[in-house]
Amino acid sequence: MSLRTQLQDHPGLLVWSWKITEKLLLAQRGLFERLGLERSSRLVHWLEKPLKKILFDCRMCGQCILHYTGMTCPMTCPKQLRNGPCGGVCMDGTCEVIPDNDCVWVKAVERSGKTPWESELNRLNPPVDWRLEDLASWVTFATGRDQTTVGGKEGAVYAEGDRQ
Q: Which stretches of the chain bind ligand SF4, using CB under 6 A?
A: 52, 56, 58-61, 64-66, 73-75, 77-79, 81, 85-86, 88-89, 95-97, 103-105, 137
CB 153 → ligand SF4: shortest distance, Å?
Answer: 26
CB 32 → ligand SF4: shortest distance, Å?
Answer: 16
The angle subtended at Cα 119 by Cα 118 and Cα 121, nearest 5°, is 75
- SS3 string, the chain, reads CCHHHHHHHCCHHHHHHHHHHHHHHHHCHHHHHHHCHHHHHHHHHHHHHHHHHHHHCCCCCCCCCHHHCCCCCHHHCCCCCCCCCCCCCCCCCECCCCCCCECHHHHHHHHHCCCCCHHHHHCCCCCCCHHHCCCCHHHHHHHCHHHECCCCCCCCECCCCCCC
Q: Please give the single-letter amino acid code of residue 111.
A: R
CB 59 → ligand SF4: shortest distance, Å?
Answer: 4
Q: Which is nearer to ligand SF4, 6 or 153 (CB)?
A: 6
CB 29 → ligand SF4: shortest distance, Å?
Answer: 18
Q: Which is nearer to ligand SF4, 62 or 154 (CB)?
A: 62
CB 36 → ligand SF4: shortest distance, Å?
Answer: 19
Q: Please give the single-letter amino acid code of residue 30.
A: G
Q: Which is nearer to ligand SF4, 92 or 154 (CB)?
A: 92
Q: Which is nearer to ligand SF4, 78 or 161 (CB)?
A: 78
Q: Which is nearer to ligand SF4, 78 or 153 (CB)?
A: 78
